[in-house]
Amino acid sequence: MMLHNRISVDPEIRHGKPCIKGTRIPVYLILDLLGGGSSVEEILDDYPDLKTEDIRACLEYASVIPNHHLLTKG
């Protein structure tokens, strides 16, 4: 599990929403992009600071965190 290396939750960043570590990019944004049909390559092109492992960590996070409200925008 790579979550501890790639995903962080900090109440000072994005109101505590899970983000890709070292960025202000929330997990839900990446999941929304993937769900909307964007490919990993397209996301990496749009967010050049991200790595493929960051995208995988977002997917892993979504699969192991049962509390869906942590992933939502609201």
- Residue 49 DSSP symbol: T
What pLDDT score does 63 carry? Answer: 85
What pLDDT score does 23 carry? Answer: 95
Domains of the chain: 3-70 (1.10.10.10)
pLDDT for 45 beyond 80: yes
Sign, CA dihedral 10-12-13-18, equals positive
pTM value?
Answer: 0.81
Nearest in space to 18 (alpha carbons), one of 64, 58, 55, 53: 58
37, two tokens: 């049909």
34, two tokens: 């993937």
23 in Cβ contact with 50 (< 8 Å) = yes
